[in-house]
Structure 1
């Protein structure tokens, strides 16, 4: 069993309230949280209007499955999130 963690940090240009921030990023939990091999949560900057950090934990029975899952996550983060992706860090657990 392979278990890896990925942290993504975002800047939300023009976001002036926590309500707006939650609205712009709420789809992350719904998009990825229903997958059986992914756990997702907002992990930092909870009370900051224009920044956010999200952590994804992926479990797979092979490194290839984990890599493919992270590739899908990264693609969706870049192409469908209404925020600027500042960086991604990965860590094997």
Structure 2
């Protein structure tokens, strides 16, 4: 069993409220949290309007599978949220 922790920090340029932030970042739990091998949460920058940090914990049988899932998550986020990824960190346990 292998585990990866993927932490992504986003910049939400021009975001003026927490409500707007939720709308722009909305749906991450629904999109990724339903996958049995992925857990997701907003892990930082909760009170800032123009930033957001999300952490994904991915579990798999091989490191290669986990790396593939991390890449898929990053790609979907790059095109699926109204924000810019400014920092991506991967940690394997």
The reply to whether TM is greater than 0.5 is yes
Count of residue correspondences = 93
Aligned partner of 1:58 in structure 2 is 58
Aligned partner of 1:35 in structure 2 is 35
Shift in Å, 1:26: 1.3
Aligned partner of 1:88 in structure 2 is 88
TM-score computed with the length of structure 2 as normaliser: 0.96
For structure 2, the residue ranges without an aligned partner over 5 or more in a row are none
Find the aligned partners of 2:59 and 2:80 in 1 and give their Cα distance.
Answer: 23
For structure 1, the residue ranges without an aligned partner over 5 or more in a row are none
Please list, as runs of the form range in 1=range in 2, the aligned pairs for 1:11-22 lying within 5 A after superposition: 11-22=11-22
Shift in Å, 1:77: 1.2
